[in-house]
Chains A and B, each alone.
Chain A
Amino acid sequence: MNRIQSKLQEDKKLLSIYFTAGYPQIDDTVSIIEDLENNGVDMIEIGLPFSDPLADGPTIQESSTKALKNGMTTEKLFQQLKDIRKTVKIPLIIMGYFNPMLQYGVEDFCKKCEEIGIDGLIIPDLPVDVYSEKYQAIFEKHNLINVFLITPQTSEERIRFIDSVSNGFIYMVSSASVTGSTSGFGEDTKDYFKRISEMNLKNPQVVGFGINDKQSFKEATEYSNGAIIGSAFIKDLNKNGTSKISDFVKTLR
């Protein structure tokens, strides 16, 4: 069983953290992952920076621009992560846009992820239709779970289709927005969480976008299995550097 699948079977609300690889400093990647695990984070999304991250808000875009300036590349990230499984046990997901993976070679990229011990991928601009037609077999061959997003506007029919193609969890985007743009959830959002939960999908759901503190984490996980925090963590890294990670995680639950 893949680490993501076993983690999702634990009886708890998963706290998942996103950060951009190569930010704030190029060589911070491994120590950030280790610190997050040591402070009780359940799952990590490692952001592979991209020049044009069109689903992201300014916080993640700026961290990506900085990481690229620092010299981050796909190859560099793989080098940094090559021994990560000697120290880290929690599920690791690479989140990035499709073009850098396409240039690396999708098959080679997946193979490398498997060798390192990456458990899954989140690729916002690889639509489920293209994935199931062209790439699913490659991902499955290398034991990678591909995670798809749904939004409040996603139709029930499409959610069912995404559920049928998924084998880890569904990334439930909290509102119609790019990352980092909202705080706190209104009644509409809570209704949406509830509506999805009542669909009894085969895959559990993890909520992302707009979660930045204990309160929003609690609300996001009322009907779901966990929540992902990204922009708020990047902002904290920007303000406090890498030495205060434990303080940040402690504020969340």
Chain B
Amino acid sequence: MTYQADEKGYYGEFGGAYIPEMLYPNVEELRQQYIQIMQEESFQKEFKELLKDYVGRPTPLYFASRLSEKYNTKIYLKREDLCHTGAHKINNTIGQILMAKSLGKNRIIAETGAGQHGVATATVCALMGIECIVYMGEIDIDRQAPNVARMKMLGATVIPAKSGSRTLKDATNEAIRDWINNPIDTHYIIGSVVGPHPYPDMVARFQSVISEEIKSQLLEKEGREAPDYVVACVGGGSNAAGIYYHYLDNPEVGIIAVEAAGKGILSGESAATSALGKEGIIHGSKTLLMQTPDGQITEPYSISAGLDYPGIGPMHANLFRSGRAEFISITDADAMKAGQELAKLEGIIPAIETSHALAIFEDRKFKKDDIVVLNLSGRGDKDLSTYIEYFNL
């Protein structure tokens, strides 16, 4: 029994590649080669060097003593917020830009919601001198002006997605359409563990550096590789996939996934996919997604732009369905409170996505000697205007 993807890209009943024939050659080329390329010595060497010298890895595993004291348990924070560009997203884009180079591609496309993945993609494209086109919903462009400016400064072209609801899911549709129109020279850097096989598995492997580091860091600090719990927020689920990865098949480690409840699960304005979603197909993957009874994909809501995706990665759908992971949903209000609390207790301003994960300690109690490792997936700089408005700072 494994919670990793099988060779066809299925996690239990979820995953696969439900793609139009126009995409088949691109996706198939990647599927046939991704594992082999990743295992090449030269690839590994360059990947590890860039993670170390450019991204700033390994990121610290920090024992949050005041937070631990308050909640009467042992809380470690995996400091992905200290990565270059401010979040874990760059682990994946470094991996994928090297993949694109190995495949001989000279044009990169990406989708972005809040702009974090767009910035991480524009960054690695600048680093490698490769053309970069980022699709972003027209509404998100208005909401996330600083990230749009960052991408432009990094030399990327930002194209507004004007179709449908003009947010992340539509930006993803537009990126997929671009790939259909440019099947030879272009690589699509998907930002999360979503999309058709092999993307969920490939992105999870690139993000798995997070739990790989935790194993040795925890061994040093606590004399054991495995904590009692790993905790992460889940939008599409890439930071979660990264922190779960090496513990997925270890039943001693509890897995906690935190979704955005928005204004409340039953409010009609929520992004809690495990609670509200049904099995279906989104962006080429069979997974849980929020949809109408008629199968039309609906628009989620969260105060955090990084969590308002109507689906979740197939790995997480399987963790939910099988009961392997505990899913908790956190409202906007509770997340904002937890973000404020971390700032005051530990001197760290987290991204609002991460604040959702931090908010579980209020109600979810742990034993005093439990070791809980929480993925501090991003820093709050990008969210300052939301925090300012919310708290009247």
Contact = CB atoms under 8 A, between A and B. Distances in A.
A151 B294 contact: no
Interface string B126-169: 00000000000000000000000000000000000001100001
A65 B20 contact: no
B18 A52 contact: no
A54 B195 CA distance: 12
A211 to B, nearest CB: 16
A149 B21 contact: yes
A149 B22 contact: yes
Contact of B21 (A51, A62, A104, A173): A173
A74 interface: yes
A61 B173 CA distance: 11
B268 interface: no
B283 interface: yes
Interface in A106-138: 124-128, 130
Nearest to A98: B281
A126 B23 CA distance: 12
A173 B76 CA distance: 54
A130 B177 contact: no
B297 A99 contact: yes
Nearest to B16: A130
Nearest to B8: A129
Nearest to A76: B294
A65 B296 contact: no
Contact of B183 (A62, A99, A153): A153
Q: Which of A57, A97, A125, A149 has the most CB of B within 10 A?
A: A125
Contact of A103 (B170, B183, B283, B295): B295
B282 A57 contact: no
Given A103-B278, A126-B18, A176 B24 contact: no
A150 interface: yes
Interface in B235-289: 278-284
A102 B280 contact: yes
A177 interface: yes
Contacts of A128: 21
Given A74-B295, A125-B284, A98 B18 contact: yes
B20 A124 contact: yes
Contact of A127 (B18, B164, B295): B18
Nearest to A149: B21
B280 A65 contact: no
B164 A100 contact: no
Interface string A29-54: 00000000000000000000011111
Nearest to A154: B21
A73 B294 contact: yes
Contacts of B183: 151, 153, 176
Contacts of B298: 51
Nearest to A155: B25
Interface string A69-86: 000011100000000000
Given A124-B21, A176-B180, A102 B281 contact: yes
Contacts of B281: 97-99, 102, 125
A153 B25 contact: yes
Q: Which of B180, B181, B184 has the most CB of A within 10 A?
A: B180
B333 interface: no
Nearest to B296: A51
A176 B295 contact: no
A53 B296 CA distance: 10
B35 to A, nearest CB: 19
A54 B18 contact: no
A253 B17 CA distance: 39
A110 to B, nearest CB: 15
Interface in A235-251: none
Nearest to A153: B25
Contacts of B16: 130
Given A52-B170, A177-B22, 4 more contacts: A52-B282, A54-B173, A130-B18, A151-B22
6 contacts: A54-B177, A55-B177, A102-B281, A148-B21, A154-B21, A176-B181
Interface of B: 16-22, 24-25, 163-164, 169-170, 173, 176-177, 180-184, 278-284, 291, 293-298
Lowest 9 CB-CB distances: which A-B pairs, in order?
A103-B295, A100-B295, A149-B21, A51-B296, A55-B20, A124-B20, A153-B25, A99-B295, A99-B281
